Amino acid sequence: MSAVIDQANKGGFRAWLNKRLPVDQFIEDQLTGYYAPKNFNIWYFFGSLALLVFVMQIVTGIFVTMHFKPGEATAWDSVQYMVREVPYMWLIQPMHAVGASFFFIVVYLHMARAMLYGSYKAPRELLWIIGMVIYLALMAEAFMGYVLPNGNMSYWGAQVIINLFGTIPGIGEALVEWIRGDYGIGDATLTRFFSLHVIAVPFLLALLIALHLVALRQTGSNNPDGIEIKERLGGDGKPVDGIPFHPYYTLKDIVGVGLFLTLFAIVVFFVPTFGGLFMEAPNFEPANPSSTPEHIAPVWYFTPYYAILRAVPDQKIGALLMALSIAAFLFLPWLDRAKNKSIRYRGWASKILLGTFFVTFLVLMWLGLKPADGIYVLLARIFTALYFAFFILLFFVSKADGNGPVPDRVTYHAH
Amino acid sequence: MPTKFTTVFGVFALLIGAGVVHASEGGHAGWEREAGNQVTNIASLQRGARNFMAYCSGCHSLRFIRYSRVAADLKITDELRDQYLVKPGAKFTDYIHSSMPPADAAEWFGKAPPDLSLVARSRSPDWIFNFLTTFYADPSNRQTGVNNLALPGTAMPHVLANLQGVNNATWTNEEHEGPGGNAVATKAFAKFEPGVSGSMTAEQYDIFVRDTVNFLDYVGDPTQVERQGLGIWVVLFLLMFTGIAYMLKTEYWKDVH
Amino acid sequence: MSDHAADDTVPEVDESRRKFLIAATAGTGAVGAILTAVPFVASWKPSESARAAGLPTEVDLSKLEPGQMATVFWRKKQVYVVRRTPEMLASLGGHDGELKDAPSEESEQPEYTKNPARALRPDVFVAIGTCTHLGCLPKTRFTPGDATLSADWPGGFFCPCHGSKFDLAGRVFQGSPASVNLVIPPYSFDGENRLIVGVDPAQQGAA
């Protein structure tokens, strides 16, 4: 504390500033004085990377919005005009499109970390739930962003997804028309999606992310061993297994940023469509209400849920299962009844269960990209069953399997 | 620590590799060939531009690119540009429009010939190459007299017939199980036989089509070469930055035990 | 497991190496940030269609009567084209003392218009119709002795916004808020009756 005051007394601009804004106090509280577990591994990069991608999407989005003209008559042409005729937009617009996919890569790895180390368990349940709300908002944001250019996949993808709301009993039909603002996907839909995508949801995302960080600060970070470092304090009142966030994790995160940007640059500059996964081929044609693309598939980050939707031959039940498959994540803090947080201190049953879930998620993702015929139908049904089985079995396996001894101190190897 | 790192990094690299492989997947049916075009080959692009304007622009527009842009990127002089590219009545800064009014085209062909600015991205250069090389005589089509392997039932006539000639297709009969369990007879394409000959040999025609496809590849993504060139520097810079940042991080982490 | 015992042999912290690495990282990062900003900033430059629209503007002079002015657009700016009569040309001499910059030293015009008439051809006056004070459109006051101005007004332009006055060669009068003469764009003639705004006479023929 006195170090802070000494700084202020050193005079000059720093002192002037600190009398008016709690700059040094903030640095002390949130950076140099905030202790995080010292055993973070590679899974712990993805939170800061998610924040980085959020900022990148905002900045590239600001510039794309300068040239994009929303609406049925102008959207498609404005994208072509911008990437061909406005200086450097041939780079900035693909950064935005590829950035959306990278956002989901990072977020899925971030969520996987939480599942590996039990970061959703008490006292971090609310942190997890806020994260899930961020995930939902992100899915809405990405969906609307994809519809905006009014390509053929934008149109038909919007058709399919909006029609899903029609499966809700009673209000379904009216709801679909209300969302569209017209009898079919058209100008009204595109312009309202533009407003939501550019202002409303990013604003909401920013607030949610801030809330997410406050919730994290409140409980402190979990770690790969799943033990609470605040339970073992040293003579200085700081956790013995903790290290100040600054400089250790600020510097480590910078390396993560460098590596991430390198991979991002490789994709943006050399394979921006990523084989049609990041920018789908049918979307290089303008929207055509008379011509459906050969395979309607959402972008890869939605396809696990799409596979679940199609697995069931009944539209209403399929839609319900799809909604449940996303909602199921919200219940993880209470489904998981183990004493130990981390997968490291659970038995083989838990390890197999979680490993199977990760593989199931990836297989469903692959299946959602495939046409819904032949062997794929059977596979989708099997893996949908496995997906839900995870959540049900977790309730029982976690109670039996994760109660052994945990170490007093974190596992750390110098690096 | 290193093993986990390499695992996740390796998985990510594998995924990128899978994406690249997925991107280059092709040749499903036996007759499908690869275009083999190179967008860095300026001479080929120039020939392709000339080919397009001479043979395609009568019906197909390239409405998102200007003559001036094509000339600048392909290093075509002003004189050659005005002689071979710019249509009569158009300014050299205009977008490339087709000569045929779309409404008339829709009436004559049943469907307006589509704009081709992005066909290389919505289909692929390989697809276009196959489309232009797999026309064959089909008397059952009373309007055009031809059909096409890449786009069966296409309304487009074989515009390049005087160059390629018109091939005949031979078929083999196949039987396989239909949806009801009964035997269904289908035809499978066997090979092309020369029919009416054109002014070019098959090799010459392939080069002609390859150049034109190359041009369309460029039109679909005019900055791809510039993008890749810049990309090398960006990736090198980022690797250097990551290396320096890593040294800084390691230095400070010596404190942590 | 990990080493928790108090370590007596903590290695010395190499402060100079740390300073160097911080500087190297920060320096490289700063360079990277600036280079990243380049495409974003450059995207504000005029687009290809702006440049295409900014092509030379052609004016048909055959309908322009002596004493009349035509306005055309070139690069989103108004251009005044005046067919000057011999009387208008004569009025250009005789008030050099009342001008801020009679020889047009400070103003912007092509070399071939740096003459008393400020024109390539004396009978056709071409200038950007933007007041050099704050950018309003100057109005025409071609009549000598115009009642709204003064008895010895030789004819020229009057800007309604803040009262700047220019003569029939666009030269600014003393007492005007504007400080330089009207800007003259590049232009040339193709034959007797075709004016091309935006192309110097030397460049004619090249597109």
Q: What is the DSSP string of C97-123?
A: GGBS-TT-SSS---GGG-STT-SSBTT
Residue C89 has pLDDT above 60, yes or no: yes
Put simply, the answer to whether A284 touches B65 (Cβ < 8 Å) is no
Other beta carbons within 10 angstroms of residue C158's beta carbon come to 19
Report CA C23 to chain centroid distance, whole Å. Answer: 43
Put simply, the answer to whether C49 touches A409 (Cβ < 8 Å) is no
Instruction: Report the chain C residue with the minimal C-alpha distance to residue A66.
Output: C44
Q: What percent of chain B has pLDDT over 70?
A: 87
B71, containing H or E segment: helix B67-73
Burial class (CB in 10 A: 0-12, 13-18, 19+), B49: buried
- In angstroms, what separates the C-alpha of B8 from chain A's closest C-alpha? 8
Nearest CB to B234; choose among A269, A271, A284: A269
Cis peptide before A247 (omega within 30 of 0): yes
Taking the Cβ of residue C19 and every Cβ of chain B, the question of whether any pair is shorter than 8 Å is answered with no
The pLDDT of residue B66? 95
Give the closest residue to B27 by CA, choosing from B110, B158, B129, B155: B129
Put simply, the answer to whether A84 touches C42 (Cβ < 8 Å) is no
* The token pair that represents C180 in the structure block: 């330089």
- In angstroms, what separates the C-alpha of A217 from chain C's closest C-alpha? 26
Report whether C158 contacts C149 (CB < 8 A): yes
Taking the Cβ of residue C36 and every Cβ of chain B, the question of whether any pair is shorter than 8 Å is answered with no
Residues of chain A in contact with residue B223, where contact means CB-CB under 8 angstroms, are 83, 90-91
Instruction: Report the chain A residue with the minimal C-alpha distance to residue C51.
Output: A85
Give the closest residue to A82 by CA, choosing from A97, A72, A92: A92
* The token pair that represents C139 in the structure block: 């109005």
Q: Is the dihedral of CA A93, A98, A102, A103 positive or negative?
A: positive
Q: Is the dihedral of CA A219, A222, A225, A226 positive or negative?
A: positive
Query: Phi then psi for A313, rounded to 5 degrees?
Result: -70, -15
Give the contacts of A68 (CB within 8 A, at least 6 positions apart).
Answer: A75, A78, A79, A82, A148, A194
Alpha-carbon separation of residue C49 from A175, B64, B165, C153, C199 (angstroms): 42, 11, 41, 43, 19
Instruction: Return d(Cα C127, Cα C104) in angstroms, integer.
Output: 13
Instruction: Report the chain B residue with the minimal C-alpha distance to residue A276.
Output: B23
In chain B, residues 48-107 whose CB comes closer than 8 Å to chain C: 66, 68-69, 78, 91-93
- In angstroms, what separates the C-alpha of A174 from chain B's closest C-alpha? 35
Put simply, the answer to whether C2 touches A413 (Cβ < 8 Å) is yes
| CA angle (A102, A131, A370) in 5-degree steps | 45
Put simply, the answer to whether A63 touches C1 (Cβ < 8 Å) is no
Report whether B223 contacts A90 (CB < 8 A): yes
Report whether B213 contacts B37 (CB < 8 A): yes
Instruction: Return d(Cα A64, Cα A202) in angstroms, integer.
Output: 15
Domains of chain A: 27-292 (1.20.810.10), 297-403 (1.10.287)
Put simply, the answer to whether A89 touches C48 (Cβ < 8 Å) is no
Alpha-carbon separation of residue A221 from A40, A130, A245, A304, C72 (angstroms): 10, 15, 11, 29, 67
Put simply, the answer to whether B235 touches A42 (Cβ < 8 Å) is no
| CA angle (B243, B238, A301) in 5-degree steps | 115
Q: Which residues of A touch C (CB under 8 A)?
A: 59, 63, 66, 81, 84-89, 91-92, 240, 254, 407, 409-413
Question: Which residues on neighbouring strands pair with residue C6, listed in sequence order?
Answer: none
Question: Which residues on neighbouring strands pair with residue C128, listed in sequence order?
Answer: C79
Taking the Cβ of residue C34 and every Cβ of chain B, the question of whether any pair is shorter than 8 Å is answered with no
Burial class (CB in 10 A: 0-12, 13-18, 19+), C128: buried
For chain A, the chains sharing at least 3 beta-carbon pairs closer than 8 angstroms are B, C
Other beta carbons within 10 angstroms of residue A290's beta carbon come to 4
pLDDT mean over C5-22: 76
Number of residues in chain C: 207
C127 Rama sector, left if φ>0, alpha if ψ -120 to 50, beta otherwise: beta
pLDDT in tens, C179-207: 999 999 999 998 888 999 998 887 655 44
Put simply, the answer to whether C40 touches A85 (Cβ < 8 Å) is no
Instruction: Return d(Cα B145, Cα A102) in angstroms, integer.
Output: 49
Nearest CB to C47; choose among A59, A85, A411: A85
CA dihedral B97, B98, B100, B101 (to 10 degrees): -30
pLDDT-based confidence at residue C66 (cuts at 50, 70, 90): very high
Strand stretches in chain C, DSSP E: 57-60, 69-74, 77-83, 124-128, 139-141, 156-158, 165-167, 187-189, 194-197
The pLDDT of residue A274? 94
Give the closest residue to A176 by CA, choosing from A384, A327, A315: A315
What residue segments make up the domains of chain B, in order of their start?
A: 28-249
Other beta carbons within 10 angstroms of residue B202's beta carbon come to 14
User: DSSP character for A286?
Assistant: B
Residues of chain C in contact with residue B68, where contact means CB-CB under 8 angstroms, are 52
Asked if CATH classification 2.102.10.10 holds for the domain at C55-197, the reply, yes or no, is: yes
Residues of chain C in contact with residue A86, where contact means CB-CB under 8 angstroms, are 43, 47-48
Residue C168 has pLDDT above 50, yes or no: yes
Put simply, the answer to whether A88 touches C43 (Cβ < 8 Å) is yes
pLDDT mean over C31-46: 95
The amino acid at A285: E
Instruction: Return d(Cα B128, Cα B151) in angstroms, integer.
Output: 10
Instruction: Return d(Cα A366, Cα A157) in angstroms, integer.
Output: 18
Question: Which residues on neighbouring strands pair with residue A239, listed in sequence order?
Answer: A233
Number of residues in chain A: 415
Nearest CB to A85; choose among C1, C4, C48: C48
Give the closest residue to A341 by CA, choosing from A410, A400, A398, A413: A398
Instruction: Return d(Cα B131, Cα B25) in angstroms, integer.
Output: 17
- In angstroms, what separates the C-alpha of A144 from chain B's closest C-alpha? 21
Give the closest residue to A108 by CA, choosing from A282, A284, A364: A364
Nearest CB to A285; choose among B8, B69, B122: B122
Q: Is the dihedral of CA B80, B83, B86, B92 positive or negative?
A: positive
User: DSSP character for C12?
Assistant: P
Return per-residue pLDDT of chain A as tens, 415 residues: 556 666 555 678 999 999 999 999 999 999 999 999 999 999 999 999 999 999 999 999 999 999 999 999 999 999 999 999 999 999 999 999 999 999 999 999 999 999 999 999 999 999 999 999 999 999 999 999 999 999 999 999 999 999 999 999 999 999 999 999 998 899 999 999 999 999 999 999 999 999 999 999 999 999 999 999 999 999 999 999 999 999 999 999 999 999 999 999 999 999 999 999 999 999 999 999 988 998 888 999 999 999 999 999 999 999 999 999 999 999 999 999 999 999 999 999 999 999 999 999 999 999 999 998 899 999 999 999 999 999 999 999 999 988 888 888 999 988 8
- In angstroms, what separates the C-alpha of A258 from chain C's closest C-alpha? 10
Instruction: Return d(Cα A226, Cα A407) in angstroms, integer.
Output: 10
- In angstroms, what separates the C-alpha of A243 from chain B's closest C-alpha? 8
Taking the Cβ of residue C7 and every Cβ of chain B, the question of whether any pair is shorter than 8 Å is answered with yes
**CATH number of this structure's domain B28-249:** 1.10.760.10
Nearest CB to B240; choose among C13, C28, C35: C28
- In angstroms, what separates the C-alpha of C188 from chain B's closest C-alpha? 20
Alpha-carbon separation of residue A50 from A44, A161, A411 (angstroms): 11, 26, 26
Strands B95-96 and B183-197: unpaired
B177, containing H or E segment: strand B165-177
* The token pair that represents B149 in the structure block: 């392997």
Residues of chain C in contact with residue A240, where contact means CB-CB under 8 angstroms, are 4
Residues of chain B in contact with residue C24, where contact means CB-CB under 8 angstroms, are 244, 247-248
pLDDT mean over B67-91: 93
pLDDT mean over C153-177: 91
The pLDDT of residue B57? 94
Put simply, the answer to whether B251 touches C2 (Cβ < 8 Å) is no
Alpha-carbon separation of residue B249 from A39, A214, A253, A264, B235 (angstroms): 15, 26, 9, 22, 21
- In angstroms, what separates the C-alpha of B93 from chain C's closest C-alpha? 6
Taking the Cβ of residue C37 and every Cβ of chain B, the question of whether any pair is shorter than 8 Å is answered with no
pLDDT mean over C11-23: 89
Nearest CB to C11; choose among B238, B247, B254: B254
Is ipTM beyond 0.90?
yes
Taking the Cβ of residue C5 and every Cβ of chain A, the question of whether any pair is shorter than 8 Å is answered with no
Residue linked to tokens 């839900």:
A388
